[in-house]
Amino acid sequence: MPADKKHLSSTGQRILKITAGILGGYFVSVLLHNAIGSILEDKDGLIVTSAFTSFLVWSFLLVIAFLAKNGWKVWAVYMLLILIFIGIIFLNK
């Protein structure tokens, strides 16, 4: 039995969700860890810790992107987070 069409996303929304989940989630997770690193004084264990937690954050953001109904809203939230983390990084230099 095929899926009901009203529950499926359009092709454009699917592309937006995929790109937001993969690219946007990656940039958010990397910039989150860079922002945390710019705040911390002791950066000894940061590289090892961020290697594990960045994958967890990225996979969580990937799933969140697919749960949303609108891909544009996901991109807007991810871009806002990216700008916030970039601001934190440059303010702490």
SS (H, E, C) 13-54: HHHHHHHHHHHHHHHHHHHHHHHHHHHCCCCCCHHHHHHHHH
Q: Give the pLDDT of residue 7.
A: 67
Q: Give the pLDDT of residue 90.
A: 96
Which tokens belong to 85?
């983390």
Whether 5 is covered by a domain: the verdict is: no
In the numeric block, the tokens 């954050």 are attached to: 57
Q: Give the pLDDT of residue 78.
A: 98
pLDDT tens digits in sequence order for the chain, 93 residues long:
566 777 667 889 999 999 999 999 999 999 999 999 999 888 788 888 888 999 999 999 999 999 999 999 999 999 999 999 999 999 998
Q: How far apart (Å, rounded) are the C-alpha atoms in residues 93 and 78?
A: 23
Whether 44 is covered by a domain: the verdict is: yes
Whether 6 is covered by a domain: the verdict is: no
* Count: domains in the chain: 1
Q: Which residues span the domain enclosing 82?
A: 11-91
Q: Give the pLDDT of residue 67.
A: 93
pTM of the model: 0.87
Whether 41 is covered by a domain: the verdict is: yes
Whether 70 is covered by a domain: the verdict is: yes
